[in-house]
Structure 1
Amino acid sequence: MENIEYYEYPELLDVKDIQSILQIGRRQAYELVNSNVFHSVKFGRRIKIPKQSFFKWLKG
């Protein structure tokens, strides 16, 4: 995770953003999102993660 810049990302992240930030695969990203360690919202088949919630979790 080289120099992750909080402001580079939109307010609502996609699973692809999580993959990119953590440098993990698609399956791992979905497992993480579905583990409820940070807040996520489903809109039909789409999953969105509030940026603030994710980065708060990431920073511990």
Structure 2
Amino acid sequence: MNGKINIEKYPEVLTPKHIQEILDIGERQTYELLLSKPFHYVRVGRMYKISRETFFKWLNGS
């Protein structure tokens, strides 16, 4: 991660691509993270959806 993240630039519901961008990690690491369930996500078919609020709370250690 480089510098401070502008949380407001991201939509209310994040996708794995957003997580990749925020954490600066690859696709495989992103899905490994999601499957380790450190935060709540919803799976709709093959798509993963993550609440922005939930993700950033996890990221900030809350």
Shorter-chain TM-score tier: over 0.9
Question: Equivalent pairs: percent with the same residue?
Answer: 53
Q: Please name the residue that 1:22 is paired with.
A: 23
TM-score (norm 2): 0.93
Specify the code of the residue in structure 2 equivalent to 1:33: L
**Number of matched pairs:** 60
Q: Could you list the runs of 5+ residues in structure 2 that have no partner in the other structure?
A: none
The unaligned stretches of length 5 or more in structure 1 are none
The one-letter code sitting in structure 2 at the alignment partner of 1:31 is: E
Runs of 4+ in structure 1 displaced over 3 angstroms? none
Aligned residue number for residue 6 of structure 1: 7
